[in-house]
Structure 1
Amino acid sequence: MAGDSTMHLATERYGSWESWQYMEKAGSVQRKQNDEKKRAWSFIDAFTSVFLPQGYPESVSEDYLSYQLWDTVQAFASSITGTLATQATLRGVGVGNKEATIAGATITWILRDGTGMLGRILFAWKKGTKLDCDAKKWRLFADVLNDIAIFMEIVAPAFPACFTLIVCTAGIFKSLVGVAGGATRAALTVHQARRDNMADVSAKDGSQETLVNLAGLLISLLIIPLVADNIILTFVLYFFFTGLHLFSNYQAVCSVVMETLNQARLSILTYHYLKEGSILTPVEANQREPVLPSFRRRLEIQLGTKLGNLVSSLSDFEKALQDNGKKYIIGVDKIKGRVLVCLSSGAGAPDELQAGFHAYVLLFFLELQASGPGPYKAAIQRCRDVADSAATNDQHWRLVTETHRLVDVAFPHFQTALQKAGWCTDHTLLDFDEWRVDWAEGNLQKKAL
């Protein structure tokens, strides 16, 4: 009968979890769950609802789950080693020793906390601006330093004469860990939050860490009676869980795929572009990004430097502005091994990106990399010819001029290819210093007349 017919009205879904259809039948609206999405509410659903951000997985970056899994493992290992360190520290300040005084233990604890506070302030002052730009490196640095601090606290009771000095030094290290770890965690949260849901991602990360620490405490209740008077077992457990901690941290930072450009990723992209004529995807470039310190000596790049570092005479200034017309000026300090970039006060993110690209193009030729086929073979060869003979100041400025011409042609294509490959070009993490320069080319032209 006609009155028994149904009509589809709407479909709604709750992320990727549920899908429902609204049907009209006999004048009423009925709601029916789609069969392909139909499932019973389970413990796993409840667990993910409590510990994962709302809208997961669409509301976070694709690398979220792999990073959080490794981060969970490292947090558990760190919780165990932290318990071993706490036990050793308490034994060192006199817990269980009838000859120890409360005043002595309190003074040691105050000195430990006080030196840590000073270290936290100084580290934030000296390195605070670097933490955003190299979040993965500093994240790994923080965890390595944390393991060193824990080791110092474990061995401190064996050196009673230097106990206070050792625990204060460990306190300084842990304060650096707090600054670097907290700041880089915030930077990674910004990367992972894809729906302006930083607070939710951060809160759920805190819930995950709390759960892991609770599990670590429960395991520690079983471990502590075993290691209380067994220093060998203490060190065996420390080295085992420290190895697990470092391996998990390395895997965690390597699993992160960031789409914003820092100096390391821009250098990888620029060198590959000049050699191969193509742009690496964020996944490919992040896999090549170093997260461990490099001991290979290479020329330094200073972005946003003072004008006085770049030019020392009117002749240098005129050469820096020759064939420029950009919102930055660039040069080479071969004596100190630096590529220097001065930025105009009117420069925006595209200008910063172009300046960084130009700096690595210049570095590419100063280090005499193999040019490969590339899309700009003639221009690259001209730059290489100049770079091969760049021994004097004038030759360095000739190389700068040649790279200006190459960048004028190559950068628009490079920028477009970045956007197509999925890179974020609206803002950069290139660690520009705050110096800005306004230059007046008209005055130089008047002087020449």
Structure 2
Amino acid sequence: MEVNKPVVVATEKYGSAESWEYLAKDGVIERRRHDRDGASRGNFLICLFKTVFLPQGYPESVSGDYLQYQFWDTVQAFASSLSGTLATQASLRGVGVGNQEATVAAATITWLLRDGTGMLGRILFAWRKGSKLDSEAKKWRLFADVLNDTAMFMEIMAPNFPSYFTLIVCTAGIFKSIVGVAGGATRAALTVHQARRDNMADISAKDGSQETLVNLAGLLVSLILIPLVTDSPLLTVGLFLLFTILHLFANYKAVRSVVMATFNEVRLSIVLHQYLRDGKILSPVEANRKEPVFLEFRRKPMPIKLGVKLQEIVQSQEDLDWALKNNDKPYLLGARNGYVSVCLGPEASVCDQIRAMCQAICLSSPLNSAPAGVEAQQLLMLRQLFTLNSQRHWEMVCNSHKLMDQIFIPFLKGVESAGWQTHRTLLDWDEWRVEWKLKSS
């Protein structure tokens, strides 16, 4: 006589980590793990580690580049922790710790001056560059780490220049305050990118747990290093340089591993230029691979300003008439005083913003070849745009509207098919919005 076999009545899983099934037999329901190997102690420890240090629902709840970025971020945090220990030891020695002739008051004043200048630096940097940190998160992230290493190197070398010690540590304090603003803000921007289930708080909290674990490991290693380098400035500098190289390399690999599917000016320019050359739409992975991650401090030949006041584009009624010619979109473009400027209307959508940026890119960059369907005469007029003294300047702007009419819709459909997000952007728009009363002619 055949014995009754258990019947699976339900299954459940916890993300991709666990899979269970419910079996009914003789009126009793039993729950057991679907994968018997998953019950091993090793897998239990792995699951526990994931629960403690990785966001809930990993890997489905985060971006595809999360693990690679976090690996290199962990390496750089460990190296930075060791470098920071060496810098702190040097700073303490510089303010007189261990020196019987040093006074508490002098050390306190030096410390207060360093903190005070750092606070001022934090406020000024956030005022001047705060709006840039979202649109260029990778560049500012890497810049912050380079500046942090520079500040720590200054702190290590400061005791060798006692006459200038206060000046050096105050300058290093300003650098570190900039690092605090840029590093914290860009970390938040990257967290927004990594979150796939509106779980930014969870990702940020688990990132803090990872960093705490790394700092704890760095603390244990530092306890071994400090006795070795206390009386050896040369060894201190040598180890610092070694940790700095590791720190910068890991940071470079970390920002290179980030694949953002949201357009900023650089990524949009890369994708648009490729499309104008050969009609190919680059995927987010391909475009991010080409995106530069180092800040450029030299001024571009024809930079773009977004969301400007109307007076930066038009100076007369004739200018306004030209700006509206062939233009039925809620933005105005013009090139004046060495800038390509875009004036935005209050009703402009994200799609309008992307189109305006594409048009500004075409006006600010000479193109190498014409896309299919674009007349050579139009392309020639775009190339001649930068002769700003030319009376045909506004004609070139008008022709850029015609160019966008031909290429933008196919381009927009192409980038959406390639996986780019077009419902939001990281374009650096200022807050001016202008509502013009005249209709386009």
Is the structural similarity TM-score above 0.5?
yes
SS of equivalent residue, structure 2 residue 379: helix
What residue is the counterpart of 1:337 in the other structure? 338
1:322 is matched with which residue: 321, 325, 347?
325
Q: Distance in 1 between matches of 2:5 and 2:111?
A: 78
TM-score, normalization by structure 2: 0.95
2:56 is matched with which residue: 40, 50, 54?
54
1:18/1:37 contact within 8 Å kept: no
Alignment partner of 1:370 is 2:375 = no
What residue is the counterpart of 2:426 in the other structure? 429
Question: How many residues are matched?
Answer: 436
SS of equivalent residue, structure 1 residue 394: coil
What residue is the counterpart of 1:163 in the other structure? 165
1:261/1:424 contact within 8 Å kept: yes
Q: Deviations over 1:204-251 (max 9, x none)?
A: 100111111111111111111111111111110011110111111000
Cα offset for 1:37?
Answer: 6.6
Q: Distance in 1 between matches of 2:362 and 2:9?
A: 58
Q: Distance in 2 between matches of 1:354 and 1:89?
A: 52
Question: Matches of residues 23-34 of structure 1 in structure 2 within 5 Å?
Answer: 23-34=23-34
1:303 is matched with which residue: 303, 306, 328?
306
SS of equivalent residue, structure 1 residue 437: coil
- Name the CA shift for 1:388/1:52 in 2 (closer, same or farther; >3 Å): closer
Question: Matches of residues 215-234 of structure 1 in structure 2 within 5 Å?
Answer: 215-234=217-236
Unaligned runs of 5+ in 2: none
Cα offset for 1:393?
Answer: 3.9
SS of equivalent residue, structure 2 residue 212: helix
SS of equivalent residue, structure 1 residue 326: coil
TM-score, normalization by structure 1: 0.93
What residue is the counterpart of 2:208 in the other structure? 206
1:19/1:37 contact within 8 Å kept: no
Cα offset for 1:421?
Answer: 1.1
SS of equivalent residue, structure 1 residue 332: strand
RMSD of equivalent CA atoms: 1.7
Q: Deviations over 1:342-378 (max 9, x none)?
A: 00011121111111111112223xx2x2115x333x3
Q: Deviations over 1:79-129 (max 9, x none)?
A: 111111111110110111111000110011111111101111111111111
What residue is the counterpart of 1:384 in the other structure? 379
What residue is the counterpart of 2:350 in the other structure? 349
Share of identical aligned residues, percent? 58
Cα offset for 1:402?
Answer: 1.3
What residue is the counterpart of 1:240 in the other structure? 242
SS of equivalent residue, structure 2 residue 263: coil
Q: Which amino acid aligns with 1:310?
A: I
Unaligned runs of 5+ in 1: none
1:389/1:395 contact within 8 Å kept: no
Q: Deviations over 1:178-219 (max 9, x none)?
A: 000000001101111111111111011001111111111111
Cα offset for 1:77?
Answer: 0.7
- Name the CA shift for 1:393/1:9 in 2 (closer, same or farther; >3 Å): farther
Q: Distance in 2 between matches of 1:407 and 1:111?
A: 55
Q: Which amino acid aligns with 2:24?
A: E
Cα offset for 1:10?
Answer: 2.1
Q: Distance in 1 between matches of 2:383 and 2:57?
A: 56
Q: Which moved more, 1:225-234 or 1:22-31?
A: 22-31
2:382/2:400 contact within 8 Å kept: no
Q: Distance in 2 between matches of 1:393 and 1:348?
A: 33
2:363/2:382 contact within 8 Å kept: no
